[in-house]
Amino acid sequence: MTNTSSPPRVVVGVDGSAPAANALEFAIEEARLRKATLHVTYAYTVMASPVTGSTGKDYYEQVEAEAKEFLQGIVATAPSTEGLEVECLGVPGNPSEVLIEARRGATLLVVGSRGQGGFLGLLMGSVSTQCVHHSHCPVLVVREGH
């Protein structure tokens, strides 16, 4: 009988924040320990700024290019990923939905947490909370300062 299971994969959500940088650092170490592929995911909003002077197609291509550049910058400033297979993916959409989808088939999902908590956290929602409640793989939530 052959083993048809996919190789281990660690998914990490990044957004340029300090908690996400901490999560990326933990994810790199977890990928090493698990001999897993590191899947770095960045969810970006598409209509963050008004469309001016270009077609919709040009606008989306520009936003996609900016997201790719942003993601490459995050990975470039991360701790060394030497020896790891790293996949980077920028996806337009809501961060929790993008990460919950990206975790399909993953061994582990790693996310940072700003720790809003309280009433503000309830109003704004929380990517880490959504991931914990809706993911079908283990989720590691890295708190700020850890």
Q: What is the pLDDT of residues 29-65, one digit of tens each?
A: 999 999 999 999 999 887 655 555 566 677 788 888 9
Q: CA 65, CA 92: separation in Å to the nearest integer?
A: 12
pLDDT at 2: 45
| Token pair in block for residue 92 | 């337009």
pLDDT for 95 beyond 70: yes
Closest CA to 42 of 66, 26, 77, 60: 66
What is the CATH code for 9-143? Answer: 3.40.50.620
31 token code pair:
């990928």
pLDDT at 26 over 80: yes
The alpha carbon of residue 130 and the mean position of all alpha carbons in its chain are separated, in whole angstroms, by: 13
Strand, helix or coil for residue 43: strand
* 7 Rama sector, left if φ>0, alpha if ψ -120 to 50, beta otherwise: beta
pLDDT attached to residue 96: 86
pLDDT tens digits, 118-136: 555 544 448 777 777 777 7
Query: How far is it, in rounded angstroms, from Cα 42 to Cα 35?
Result: 22
Cα distances (Å, whole numbers) of residue 18 to 2, 97, 122, 146: 43, 21, 21, 10
Render pLDDT for 75-92 as a digit per residue (tens, 0 to 9).
999 999 999 999 999 999
Which residues on adjacent β-strands are paired with residue 86?
38
pLDDT tier for residue 114 given thresholds of 50, 70 and 90: confident
DSSP character for 7?
P
